[in-house]
């Protein structure tokens, strides 16, 4: 059984992601991260859900994915999801690194190629328009007290 789980841990990321996940090792306090990032609307400590953008240019010494992270809190379950900011459509088709942007708390979009991902606050990382085959790179989250840890799945 352990052998099977080890194989799945190695093969599954390449099947689920359009791009290879970058090294991620990041931690933050969910009650203060939005203040640190100067993002005050829909914060992670809001009971009704929220999000925070972790920009790689502000965190050069930390491992925060290809271009940074989107951290989202599901308003129904309280789960926190982490996605890479790198647009998998632009990167897969053109090899160009472009960042996706949050349109609302549930919709992210790449303004360059118009790819869109909906309901990402509930863990749905699949593209919802165009080809529908490009998935956001998802990272593991663990909340221990007030500290959120974000890392690679494997």
Q: Which residue has the tokens 């379950």?
A: 77
Please give the pLDDT value at position 93.
87
More confident residue, 16 or 66: 66
State mean pLDDT over 131-140.
Answer: 85
Reported as a single tens digit per residue, the pLDDT across 68-108 is 999 998 888 889 999 999 999 999 888 889 999 998 888 89
Read off the pTM: 0.81
First to last CA, the chain: 17
Per-residue pLDDT tens over the stretch 25-57: 999 999 898 888 877 677 888 877 888 999 888
**How confident is the model at residue 153, as a pLDDT?**
62
Mean pLDDT, residues 101-128: 87
Q: Which CATH class is domain 2-151?
A: mainly beta
* Count of alpha carbons within 13 angstroms of residue 128, beta-carbon side: 12
Check the CA dihedral 28-34-38-39 and report its sign. positive
Strands (E), 6-133: 24-29, 50-55, 63-64, 68-73, 80-84, 101-102, 107-109, 116-118
Does pLDDT of 110 surpass 90? Answer: yes
* Partners of residue 116 on adjacent β-strands: 109
Residue 65 has pLDDT above 80, yes or no: yes
DSSP designation for 15: H
DSSP bridge pairs for 53: 70
Residue 132 has pLDDT above 80, yes or no: no
Q: Is residue 154 over pLDDT 80?
A: no
Q: Is 99 helix (H, G, I), strand (E, B) or coil?
A: strand
């Amino acid at each position: 059984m352990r052998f099977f789980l080890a194989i799945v841990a190695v093969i599954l990321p390449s099947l689920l992601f359009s791009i290879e996940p970058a090294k991620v090792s990041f931690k933050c306090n969910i009650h203060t991260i939005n203040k640190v990032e100067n993002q005050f609307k829909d914060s992670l400590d809001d009971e009704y859900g929220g999000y925070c953008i972790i920009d790689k240019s502000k965190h050069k010494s930390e491992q925060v994915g290809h271009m940074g992270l989107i951290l989202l809190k599901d308003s129904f379950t309280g789960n926190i999801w982490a996605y890479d900011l790198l647009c998998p459509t632009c990167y897969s088709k053109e090899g160009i690194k472009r960042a996706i942007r949050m349109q609302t708390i549930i919709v992210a979009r790449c303004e360059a190629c118009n790819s869109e991902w909906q309901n990402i606050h509930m863990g749905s990382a699949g593209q919802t328009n165009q080809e529908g085959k490009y998935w956001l790179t998802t990272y593991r989250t663990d909340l221990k007290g007030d500290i959120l840890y974000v890392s690679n799945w494997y």
